[in-house]
Amino acid sequence: MPELPEVETIKRQLAKTIVGKKVKNVKINLAKMVNLPVAKFKKTVVGAKIEEIKRRAKILIFDLDNNWSVLIHLKLTGQLIFHDDKTEGDPPTKHTHIIYYFTDGTKLYHNDLRQFGWERLIQTIALSEYWQKEKLGPEPLDKDFNLAEFTQILKSRPQAVIKPLLMDQKAIAGIGNIYSDESLFVAKILPTRKASTLKPKEIDKLFQAIKQILIKAITRHGTSVQDYVDSHGQKGNFAPKLFVYNRHGQPCKKCHTKITRLKLRGRSAHYCPQCQK
């Protein structure tokens, strides 16, 4: 699933390519991906101009000039591909479920192999209420997100296992399987430890590691392990920099011990049994 760095990459790219464009038409091939009847969804979006693109957690927000916003969650296999006359890449396929046509001839394809992704039209004025209902945690890269707040999150859930806690969107927004593994490795903390066992110095290291890893991943346009590509159809290039994620059985880049994988709450956790304690 695209996590914060991947969604942030797409947000930054689309901010340069589609902000200011007017929607000429929308083709919806899979009705279940939108939250309104297809005709109503199209009527609301067609003719509107995209004013701004934002991100909250793993969700993209397209603010329109008609006081509506389109929220897009890519889930497991979603892709948003921008196409103009100069774009290289495949044309729409059987996995292209929504197409935005802009008045200047460019297009935006929403592809989704597994069909778990969605788009929701919500009145912009109602977004704050929507986020409150979702109860998303703080953004880890926000300037206001500090060590004290992070410490309080861990103290409020002392019995929580640290890796699932980092992935809990109600605790901290945007972190998933990849970057929880990587952050815990950099902080030298086993993914199986409970929050209550972390000492202040370890909490500080983990707090810094989360920011460090996320920023580096954004710089390299995210991690492509399976289906993720950016809005230009290009793979992210952070995968070669991964320390533990998806590297089970391979030697640790620090100590050469074999990376171990285990299941935690139905998700894989990768770690170095020598470097992480």
The pLDDT value given to residue 265: 86
112 - beta bridge partners? 78
Task: Return the closest-CA partner of residue 2 out of 215, 224, 233.
Answer: 224
The strand ranges marked E within 29-156 are: 50-56, 59-64, 68-73, 78-83, 96-102, 107-112, 118-123
Annotated catalytic residue, options 11, 21, 55, 58:
58
Lowest-pLDDT range of 78-92, 193-207, 252-266: 78-92
- Tens of pLDDT, residue by residue over 223-274, are 998 889 999 999 999 999 999 999 999 999 999 999 999 999 889 999 999 9
Relative to beta strand 78-83, strand 68-73 is unpaired
Is 256 assigned to a binding site? no
User: Does position 89 have pLDDT exceeding 70, yes or no?
Assistant: no
114 is in an annotated binding site: yes
Q: Is 173 helix (H, G, I), strand (E, B) or coil?
A: coil
Give yes or no for a contact between 196 and 158, defined as CB atoms under 8 angstroms apart: yes
267 is catalytic: yes
- Determine the pLDDT at residue 87: 56
Mean pLDDT of all residues in 177-181: 98
pTM: 0.95
Q: How confident is the model at residue 90 (pLDDT cuts 50, 70, 90)?
A: low
Residue 100's pLDDT is what?
96
pLDDT confidence bin for 86, thresholds 50/70/90: low
pLDDT of residue 225: 87
Torsion of CA 138, 140, 143, 146, to 10 degrees: 80
Longest dimension (CA), the chain: 59
Q: Tell whether the model's pLDDT for residue 214 goes beyond 80.
A: yes
Catalytic annotation present for 138: no
Predicted pLDDT at 93: 84
CATH numbers and ranges of domains, the chain: 4-134 (3.20.190.10), 147-271 (1.10.8.50)
Q: Where are the alpha helices (DSSP H) in the chain?
A: 4-17, 38-45, 127-134, 147-156, 162-167, 177-186, 200-219
Q: Express each pLDDT in 3-33 by its tens digit.
A: 999 999 999 999 999 999 999 999 999 999 9
